Chain A
Amino acid sequence: MHLVCQISDRSPMIELNVNGKVRDYDVDPSMPLLWFLRDVANLTGTKYGCGIALCGACTVHLDGQAVRSCVTPVAAAVGRKVTTVEGVVDDGIGRAVQAAWQKLDVVQCGYCQSGQIMSAAALLRTNTQPSDAAIDAAMSGNVCRCAAYVRIRAAIHEAAATLGG
């Protein structure tokens, strides 16, 4: 009986592109993308912070744009490229951000940092030489309890410099 129920209840498979890998997943389309990434795709680099899109810890990219995965249903990612902190280093901007983060030793406790890196990479995609004010404006939705904001800003300048030069 249980088996019959399982088969009859099964929703159709959902095709998702995560970090360039296209696969079918057996998930509820209303499941938060963050939940899917961590528990189904086993990509635990993306963190759960507040759950209501207020802290930025869960930031990932959908087609290169920064989104909060905690409030994004899986259904919203269908047909779009999902990029997480594990996959962001697959392009030049992501690599530059990672290198700058390592060089300036930005991370303190680290919990918010995957979100910070994703927002920084999204910013550098649209603004290759951001000013301090532009960085503050763009990174405002990513909260850091260790207050590493100054080093984050410096690292974004560093990444922009390597990309520009």
Chain B
Amino acid sequence: MRIRRVALTALCALSVAGAAFVTYALLTVGDGRESNAPQPAVAGAPASITDPLMRGEYLARAADCIACHTIPGQMPFSGGVAFRMPFGTIYSSNITADRETGIGAWNDDEFVRALHAGVGRSGEPLYPAFPYTSYTALSRNDILAIKAYLFSVPVAHVPAKQNKLAFPFNQRWGLSLWNALFLRKERFRSVQGKSDAWNRGAYLATALGHCNECHTPRNRFYALEHDREFAGEVLQGWKAYNITSDETYGVGSWTGQQLSDYLGKGHASGRGTASGPMGEVVENSLQYLTQDDIKALVTYLRDVKPQIGERGSELNDRPPRALASTADTPGADEMGHGDLGLQLFERGCAGCHLWNGGGRQNEAARLLGAPAVNDPDADNLTQVVLQGSHLQTAHNEGFMPSFGGAYSDAELAALGNFVLEHFGGKQGKLTAEVVAKRRTP
């Protein structure tokens, strides 16, 4: 009797393990149709660029590979950038053509499989910090053009850093299950009835540019909630704003010019300046896109289903206190009350931003209408003040020093709340405790 039960249990365990192994194998190998699968009708690089390597460079920029695969000041694409996730730290890999530490030994199918299925060269599942859930929609041609470009840049011998993940997140096999639930290995399909620009914009935004990876909320399994596409999310301390077509909470009220300026130049008159991760996206990626491609992105964003945001975060570009101020002085209501936030703004900020938020001879320093001064959570406002901001494009250069070392948590909270009230007409919720947490994201 006892022997039978043990045997039965063993048999059960074996069959479960067997089924798991088969599932695992099937899931990790890829969809097996990589070479023959139909190609998307949209190509990521404009037809005007004919040189294959230049197409690859354009695509690699549009996909912003460099941002995640390069530590500033180190060899481009040599990896090692840390991604601090709620469950541990992941380091990006060396994607130069070094045979030992990079991707020099990878063949075309292996590289395509990595982007389409999130699988490494020896079949190991990759962590979805690598945005293969977006890249899976890319065409094989585009992926191979990127590979050819990566194989043309200087080779760096930089061994991978060990990820620091706690159990069970350090078990890569678990990712196969995650993929089974959340990865849809489908190539981009043009939507009939939409313009070429719309389809091109959709391919650039959702596949190559992988805007979703920051701007779309994630569920508790850290997977994208696609039914809330572009509704906004906080990552590594920075808020990726709602960029849906909602007029109140998204970018629906932005003019076409404002949208294309923000994307292509990092600053939109009356809508603020890109900082932090979005500043990097503009510097590394968007500023290199053609005008037509920026327009295509705008066309697509204009049509993204509107999503409601948090009540109280509505953009107010006519805040009463800023309007009551001149460039030189705040309004009479505010002056002489000894408000700590106002005093700090006077000492550190007014010289460049001016009391009316107009910015002293610098468009990048204009505050009115900027999402950062309208978000009651003040995520990006806190980060910009803590870390400073630097945006360099072919069009302009913006620079703001860091104040993290100069002021205490309580002072920065007071400053942040003053800025929200004065320039956004918002009741800020910053406290010293919140600022302290944001110092170490």
A134–B399 contact, CB under 8 A?
no
Question: Which of B131-139, B314-322, B328-336 is found at the contact surface with chain A?
Answer: B328-336
Does A72 interact with chain B (Cβ within 8 Å)? yes
A56 to B335, CA, bound (A): 22
A65 and B327 in contact, given A71-B362, A137-B335 (Cβ under 8 angstroms): yes
A131–B361 contact, CB under 8 A?
no
B361–A136 contact, CB under 8 A?
no
A39 to B224, CA, bound (A): 58
Q: Count the A-B residue pairs with Cβ separation under 8 angstroms: how many?
A: 60
| Nearest A residue (CB) for B397 | A71
A96 to chain B, nearest CB (A): 17
A124 to chain B, nearest CB (A): 10
B406 to chain A, nearest CB (A): 12
Residues from chain A with a CB closer than 8 A to the CB of B223 are none
B336–A71 contact, CB under 8 A?
no
The bracket for how many chain B residues form the interface is 10 to 19
Does A108 interact with chain B (Cβ within 8 Å)? no
A140–B351 contact, CB under 8 A?
yes
Q: Tell me if A's interface is mostly helix, strand, loop or mixed.
A: mixed
A72 to B363, CA, bound (A): 12
List which A88-116 residues lie within 8 A (CB) of chain B.
none
Residues from chain A with a CB closer than 8 A to the CB of B326 are 126-127
List which B350-364 residues lie within 8 A (CB) of chain A.
350-352, 355, 360-362
| Nearest A residue (CB) for B337 | A133
Binary per-residue interface labels of chain B (362-386) against chain A in the complex, 1 for a CB within 8 Å, 0 otherwise: 1000000000000000000000000
A143 to B181, CA, bound (A): 59
| Nearest B residue (CB) for A138 | B328
A141–B329 contact, CB under 8 A?
no
The bracket for how many chain A residues form the interface is 20 to 34
Residues from chain B with a CB closer than 8 A to the CB of A136 are 346
Residues from chain B with a CB closer than 8 A to the CB of A66 are 328, 360
Does B312 interact with chain A (Cβ within 8 Å)? no
**Which of A53, A76, A134 is close to B329, meaning CB atoms less than 8 Å apart?**
A134
Residues from chain B with a CB closer than 8 A to the CB of A56 are 351
A56 to B354, CA, bound (A): 13
B336–A133 contact, CB under 8 A?
yes
Does B395 interact with chain A (Cβ within 8 Å)? no
Residues from chain A with a CB closer than 8 A to the CB of B327 are 65, 126
Residues from chain A with a CB closer than 8 A to the CB of B352 are 53-54, 141
List which A114-133 residues lie within 8 A (CB) of chain B.
122-123, 126-127, 130-133
Residues from chain B with a CB closer than 8 A to the CB of A40 are none
A85 to B351, CA, bound (A): 19
Residues from chain B with a CB closer than 8 A to the CB of A134 are 328-329, 335
B350–A140 contact, CB under 8 A?
yes
B336–A131 contact, CB under 8 A?
yes
Does B401 interact with chain A (Cβ within 8 Å)? yes
**Which of B355, B360, B361, B401 is close to A137, meaning CB atoms less than 8 Å apart?**
B355
| Nearest A residue (CB) for B328 | A138
A123–B335 contact, CB under 8 A?
no
Residues from chain A with a CB closer than 8 A to the CB of B328 are 66, 122-123, 126-127, 134, 137-138
A133 to chain B, nearest CB (A): 4
B360–A53 contact, CB under 8 A?
yes
A125 to chain B, nearest CB (A): 9
Does A47 interact with chain B (Cβ within 8 Å)? no
A133–B335 contact, CB under 8 A?
yes
Residues from chain B with a CB closer than 8 A to the CB of A141 are 350-352, 360
Binary per-residue interface labels of chain A (28-68) against chain B in the complex, 1 for a CB within 8 Å, 0 otherwise: 00000000000000000000000011101000001001111
A143 to B277, CA, bound (A): 32
Q: Can you give 24 A-B contacts (C-beta < 8 A)?
A: A53-B351, A54-B351, A54-B352, A67-B360, A68-B360, A68-B361, A71-B361, A72-B361, A123-B329, A126-B328, A127-B328, A127-B329, A130-B329, A131-B335, A133-B329, A133-B335, A133-B336, A134-B329, A137-B328, A137-B329, A137-B335, A138-B329, A140-B347, A141-B360
Closest 5 CB pairs of A and B: A141-B351, A138-B328, A133-B335, A133-B336, A134-B329
Listed in ascending order, the chain A residues whose CB lies under 8 Å from chain B are: 52-54, 56, 62, 65-68, 71-72, 76, 122-123, 126-127, 130-134, 136-138, 140-142
